[in-house]
Amino acid sequence: MPKKFDKGITSKDSDYSKWYNDIVNKADLAEISDVRGCMVIKPYGFAIWEKMKAKLDEMFKKTGHQNAYFPLFVPKRLFEAEEKNAEGFAKECAVVTHYRLKNDPNEKGKLIVDSEAKLEEELVVRPTSEAVIWSTFKKWIQSYRDLPILINQWANVVRWEMRTRLFLRTSEFLWQEGHTAHEQKKEALDEALLINDIYKNFCEDFLAIPVIQGLKSESEKFAGAEETYCIESLMQDGKALQMGTSHFLGQNFAKAFDVKYAKKDGGLDYVWATSWGVSTRLMGALIMSHSDDKGLVLPPSIAPIQVVIVPIYKNTDDLKKIKSFVLNILEDLDSKNITVKFDDNDKLKPGFKFNEYELKGIPIRLAVGLRDIKNSEVELARRDNNSKTIVKIKNLSTVIQNTLDDIQKQIFVKAKLNLKNNITIVSDFNEFKNVIDSKGGFVYAHWDGTNETEKKIKKETKATIRCIPYENKFGPGKCIYSGKDSHQMVLFAKSY
Amino acid sequence: MPKKFDKGITSKDSDYSKWYNDIVNKADLAEISDVRGCMVIKPYGFAIWEKMKAKLDEMFKKTGHQNAYFPLFVPKRLFEAEEKNAEGFAKECAVVTHYRLKNDPNEKGKLIVDSEAKLEEELVVRPTSEAVIWSTFKKWIQSYRDLPILINQWANVVRWEMRTRLFLRTSEFLWQEGHTAHEQKKEALDEALLINDIYKNFCEDFLAIPVIQGLKSESEKFAGAEETYCIESLMQDGKALQMGTSHFLGQNFAKAFDVKYAKKDGGLDYVWATSWGVSTRLMGALIMSHSDDKGLVLPPSIAPIQVVIVPIYKNTDDLKKIKSFVLNILEDLDSKNITVKFDDNDKLKPGFKFNEYELKGIPIRLAVGLRDIKNSEVELARRDNNSKTIVKIKNLSTVIQNTLDDIQKQIFVKAKLNLKNNITIVSDFNEFKNVIDSKGGFVYAHWDGTNETEKKIKKETKATIRCIPYENKFGPGKCIYSGKDSHQMVLFAKSY
């Protein structure tokens, strides 16, 4: 008996949050684990993450960065060294205090912590690696000749979260963290900006997610940074999502870890630094940016399978004929570096397969039956706009390549339109509150630049300053809250 | 002032252990970190590991395995579930007991563990992931239709080690761990054997390290396994190193986590399982198998840079001419997928560069001066046998490709000869002790199959049974220790 297929996805409009969870679960991307706050990334979800990794890794390497690996644990005394950084992460870190379990004398088969194996110094599971890496950089850096150091690490990190959501906020997550050291302040600033551009290009060109680049306000910047640059995007429910951050750390960590270098022209100085990262959170952004009530929608660049071929047949003879017909298509697409899957699973009916691949966001589905073979054609269905066309075999690989390019483009255009339609410019606080409450999205408003005003606005509306955009489209004005002078409008939104 | 170059490598013969550490440090592979027992893998070392990962990953995927990711933490109750596995790892695990630090009221700027943030249930940092994965498989497996499940994970794991050595034994290490579930016992056994073959092929064809395949004795097998298959190799100092293991887990984990499946012909049964892994330990094996007193020797397949070109010049005009001459070589090699680096660093002299690339094990070094340009030739030096030849430019890429192939082959042949010359067959315990003490290497000897005899031999000689080889070259006989009946000879050695 073929399995029945029931999508059972909550509609996006009725409950966005439940819709998101349904997509993550039913498209087999990830699931909640038996470990509090931690997720299991399932093979299909991990295949998408692997494609993200490969592309980002290529972009980092092309710009001179090298991968390395640093310890998972941060001894408490290193963790404390940069005070603001420590303060920022102390409240949410997993602490290792013992290095052994022993048999429970009171209950056979149970284990308890062995109190004799208490660590002299506690170890923090890295929430981020600045401390461990700067204690290492101290050994690597003596002179200007040792600079710049451009390091990246792919790793797992832990930040204890009370309320978690798959991909968006989990206690353990996967990410890359870049850590660089430079002679000059300007070099470090340029590096932070370069990386923010890499992140932007990656998100827009590969994930088809349009972003806004900007600077974080004082209260939203990374603990220990001088400046935090970021890219922010807008989800379909009108909430903003921080996609990536790139920090200019000034000489803060160099001072905390006493990392000085001999200058070209004599004398010693502290080195300048950056750090930057994106995480499995991008999986959440990818899902929320493009998907619909039928399931995941994937831009072709990031789809582990770009084309799926489903045979339509009545008996094994038919299937045999279709198989030999499809063989040429597979070879042709493969030679053009298009990833294709032929699903000849005999236990499942075509309707079930159609549904499943729709759910999993495969950009193009081909259906091939006996009549198609006779007519030398196949049916091509697009996931993004549900259109179907009949394509002659002789044109197939060209049509597929063009269609993949078009899907990539159209998905981006759609997301860009959503972003554009959901940026509102307001001139007073009443309008601000109205937009935030009803329409949502990004709101441009004048702000007096103080932490105090930012806090009050957040308290009253739950909206925060997502960034001070690079692109300063508006001149000076008056703060919508305090009426004081404002240099430029900034972008507010409710956010994930 | 160009940096001076001092290799300062301890000779292999005078102190093998110090020689090893010198190579690891001076070839910039890894270093001890400020975190007890944990290492920093430096960019050059990590680039080699990345090549290992890429190749293994390709081999796993070609045989139907998929990557996924499971939590870092194992809640204590899951950790306890498979009793033998828990017993095997309880003595060396890092335990998270708290999820927050707070300011030390007695000392400003210091942090202490917040006793109010004690976890209800302790979390073990995974020493291996069977427990977490089988608690997940329980949700994934209902029927025979869900099988087989063929999962691999690239991850960091922690096993608390008192005495550590870079790559060979560190508290945290990187590895891949495969975890599979099957309908039939035979399928699981076949999977364990398939993986052991993949490991063997990887080590021999890519790392150029010959291995012996076999079965572990009862006392040496993985905690929780029915059978452990392994590959063992021999280092240049005559000690054995376990390169990888592949476990047939029987139904042990299925029973511990109650994972049953509905059989095709009705009824329920526990599923059959395997797990298998190789780790950054392979880096240690790679270093110790081939390197010499001049530094690292890398087989071309695994070398991040296969060819380095060093310009020999007096002034910037010369360098310009050499650069334009080299450009064609770079393009030519690049088009043939040979990784090449042109080192035009003006701060370092050729002699320094020669030394450094020798130290880093780059298989081929080309030197190019003005006279070479005039003669349309370059000097080619091989790292493996120190030979130098003059090669005409028109033949260069062919000669390089052939030379790389030959280096790969010769390095393997040399290691294979070392292995062959260091396998001794003994017929009594005195001979056994003599060989183990003086010559070292693998020793074939008859063993009565008991744990007791194995223990006594280990106590008296420090040699352990490395494996019961697949290839049973010798018939039955009498145990060298007890004189009791023995089915076949097994392989003993002192080991890392």
Both tokens of residue B430?
Answer: 């005195």
Contact with chain A for residue B327, Cβ under 8 A: no
Enumerate the residues of chain B whose CB falls inside 8 A of the CB of residue A83. Answer: 109
Q: Which residue of A has its CA nearest to B78?
A: A34
Enumerate the residues of chain A whose CB falls inside 8 A of the CB of residue B3. Answer: 145
Enumerate the residues of chain A whose CB falls inside 8 A of the CB of residue B156. Answer: 72, 155-156
Q: Which residue of B has its CA nearest to A54?
A: B54
Contact with chain A for residue B122, Cβ under 8 A: yes
Q: Where, residue-wise, is CATH 3.30.110.30 in chain B?
A: 423-493
CA distance B25 to chain A (A): 12
Of B72, B83, B90, Cβ closest to residue A101: B90
Of B73, B103, B174, Cβ closest to residue A38: B73
Give the model confidence (pLDDT) of A340-358 as tens digits: 999 999 889 999 999 999 9
Contact A274, A191 (CB under 8 A): yes
Contact A340, A364 (CB under 8 A): no
Q: Which residue of B has its CA nearest to A162?
A: B99
Amino acid A1: pLDDT: 38
- DSSP for A115-177? GGGEEEEEEEEPSSSHHHHHHHHHHH-SBGGG--EEEEEEEEEE---SS-BTTTB-SEEEEEE
Give the model confidence (pLDDT) of B112-165 as tens digits: 999 999 999 999 999 999 999 999 999 999 999 999 999 999 999 999 988 899
Enumerate the residues of chain B whose CB falls inside 8 A of the CB of residue A46. Answer: 66-69
Contact with chain A for residue B105, Cβ under 8 A: no
Contact A391, A380 (CB under 8 A): yes
User: Judged by CB atoms within 8 Å, which residues 13-72 of B form the interface with A?
Assistant: 31, 33-36, 38-43, 46-47, 49-50, 66-72
CA-CA distance, A455 to A223, in Å (whole number)? Answer: 17
The amino acid at residue A474 is: F
A396 pLDDT above the threshold of 80: yes
B2 pLDDT above the threshold of 90: no
Question: Cβ–Cβ of A95/B101 closer than 8 Å?
Answer: yes
Q: Which one of A39, A41, A52, A73 would you mutate to disrupt binding with B, by most B Cβ within 10 Å of its Cβ? A: A73
User: Judged by CB atoms within 8 Å, which residues 448-467 of B form the interface with A?
Assistant: none
Burial of B91 (0-12, 13-18, 19+ CB in 10 A): middle
Q: Where, residue-wise, is CATH 3.40.50.800 in chain B?
A: 300-413
CA angle A40–A46–A48, rounded 5-degree value: 140
Q: Which residue of B has its CA nearest to A41?
A: B69
Q: Where, residue-wise, is CATH 3.40.50.800 in chain A?
A: 301-414
The answer to which of A1-15, A219-233, A434-448, B396-410 has the lowest mean pLDDT is: A1-15
Contact A297, A309 (CB under 8 A): no
Range A301-414: architecture per CATH: 3-Layer(aba) Sandwich (3.40)
Question: Cβ–Cβ of B72/A40 closer than 8 Å?
Answer: no
Question: Cβ–Cβ of B100/A123 closer than 8 Å?
Answer: no
Q: Where, residue-wise, is CATH 3.30.930.10 in chain B?
A: 16-70+131-290
Contact with chain A for residue B81, Cβ under 8 A: no
The answer to which of A22-31, A128-137, A470-479, B40-49 has the lowest mean pLDDT is: A470-479
Report the complex ipTM.
Answer: 0.96
Enumerate the residues of chain A whose CB falls inside 8 A of the CB of residue B40. Answer: 68-71, 136
> What percentage of chain A has pLDDT greater than the value 70?
99
Q: How confident is the model at residue A6 (pLDDT cuts 50, 70, 90)?
A: low
Q: Which residue of B has its CA nearest to A77?
A: B110
Q: Which one of A93, A111, A120 would you mutate to disrupt binding with B, by most B Cβ within 10 Å of its Cβ? A: A111
A174 contact partners, CB below 8 Å, separation of at least 6:
A41, A49, A154, A155, A156, A279, A280, B69
Question: Cβ–Cβ of B33/A136 closer than 8 Å?
Answer: yes
Q: Which one of B53, B77, B87, B96 would you mutate to disrupt binding with A, by most A Cβ within 10 Å of its Cβ? A: B96
Distances from the Cα of A213 to the Cαs of A243, A425, A468, in angstroms? 10, 17, 8
Amino acid B7: pLDDT: 75
Of A41, A79, A109, Cβ closest to residue B83: A109
Contact with chain B for residue A268, Cβ under 8 A: no
Q: Which one of B44, B76, B93, B95 would you mutate to disrupt binding with A, by most A Cβ within 10 Å of its Cβ? A: B95
Q: How confident is the model at residue B6 (pLDDT cuts 50, 70, 90)?
A: low
List of E strands, B166-252: 172-182, 212-215, 227-234, 240-250
SS3 A258: coil
Average pLDDT over residues A241-256: 98
Average pLDDT over residues B378-383: 98
Q: Which residue of A has its CA nearest to B107?
A: A80
Q: Which one of A31, A42, A96 would you mutate to disrupt binding with B, by most B Cβ within 10 Å of its Cβ? A: A96
pLDDT, chain A, mean: 96
Question: Cβ–Cβ of B71/A41 closer than 8 Å?
Answer: no
CA distance A389 to chain B (A): 33
Give the model confidence (pLDDT) of B416-432 as tens digits: 999 999 999 999 999 99
Question: Cβ–Cβ of B145/A347 closer than 8 Å?
Answer: yes
B4 pLDDT above the threshold of 50: no
Contact with chain B for residue A94, Cβ under 8 A: yes
* Count of A-B CB contacts under 8 Å: 196
**Number of residues that this document lists for chain B:** 496
CA-CA distance, A348 to A350, in Å (whole number)? Answer: 7
CA distance B299 to chain A (A): 21
Question: Cβ–Cβ of A35/B95 closer than 8 Å?
Answer: no
Contact with chain B for residue A80, Cβ under 8 A: yes
Amino acid A473: pLDDT: 81
CA dihedral for B442, B447, B451, B457, sign (positive or negative) = negative
CA-CA distance, B408 to B423, in Å (whole number)? Answer: 23
**What is the CATH number that goes with domain B300-413?**
3.40.50.800
Contact with chain A for residue B342, Cβ under 8 A: no
Burial of B268 (0-12, 13-18, 19+ CB in 10 A): exposed
CA distance A272 to chain B (A): 20
Enumerate the residues of chain B whose CB falls inside 8 A of the CB of residue A33. Answer: 70-71, 132, 135-136
Average pLDDT over residues A295-321: 97
| HEC per residue, A163-194 | CCECCCECCEEEEEEEEEEECCHHHHHHHHHH
A481 pLDDT above the threshold of 50: yes
Enumerate the residues of chain B whose CB falls inside 8 A of the CB of residue A360. Answer: none
B373 pLDDT above the threshold of 50: yes
Question: Cβ–Cβ of A43/B160 closer than 8 Å?
Answer: no
Place of tokens 């010769």: B410
Find residue B67's DSSP bridge partners: B152
CA-CA distance, A239 to A244, in Å (whole number)? Answer: 16
Of A3, A31, A68, Cβ closest to residue B42: A68
Contact with chain B for residue A426, Cβ under 8 A: no
- Give CATH superfamily name and number for A16-71+133-290: Bira Bifunctional Protein; Domain 2 (3.30.930.10)
Dihedral in degrees, nearest 10, Cα atoms A124, A129, A130, A133: 100
* Half-sphere exposure for B353 (CA within 13 Å, toward CB): 18
Q: How does DSSP classify residue B264?
A: T
SS3 A298: coil
Question: Cβ–Cβ of A33/B71 closer than 8 Å?
Answer: yes
- DSSP for A319-359? HHHHHHHHHHHHHHHHHTT--EEE---TTS-HHHHHHHHHH
pTM of the model: 0.96
- Treating both helix axes as pointing N-terminal to C-terminal, what angle do B130-140 and B83-90 enclose, rounded to 10 degrees? 150
Contact with chain B for residue A160, Cβ under 8 A: yes
Place of tokens 């300062």: B8
**What is the CATH number that goes with domain B16-70+131-290?**
3.30.930.10
Question: Cβ–Cβ of B96/A95 closer than 8 Å?
Answer: yes
Enumerate the residues of chain B whose CB falls inside 8 A of the CB of residue A172. Answer: 71-73
Q: Domain B423-493 adopts which CATH fold?
A: Translation Initiation Factor IF3 (3.30.110)
Give the model confidence (pLDDT) of B275-296 as tens digits: 999 999 999 999 999 999 999 9
B3 pLDDT above the threshold of 80: no
Burial of A87 (0-12, 13-18, 19+ CB in 10 A): middle
Q: Which one of A34, A142, A146 would you mutate to disrupt binding with B, by most B Cβ within 10 Å of its Cβ? A: A34
CA-CA distance, B452 to B192, in Å (whole number)? Answer: 27
Contact with chain A for residue B139, Cβ under 8 A: yes
Burial of A75 (0-12, 13-18, 19+ CB in 10 A): buried
Contact A90, B100 (CB under 8 A): yes
CA-CA distance, B459 to A65, in Å (whole number)? Answer: 50
A495 pLDDT above the threshold of 60: yes
Give the model confidence (pLDDT) of A421-452 as tens digits: 999 999 999 999 999 999 999 999 999 999 99
Give the model confidence (pLDDT) of A49-75 as tens digits: 999 999 999 999 999 999 999 999 999
Contact B56, B154 (CB under 8 A): no
Give the model confidence (pLDDT) of B28-38 as tens digits: 999 999 998 99
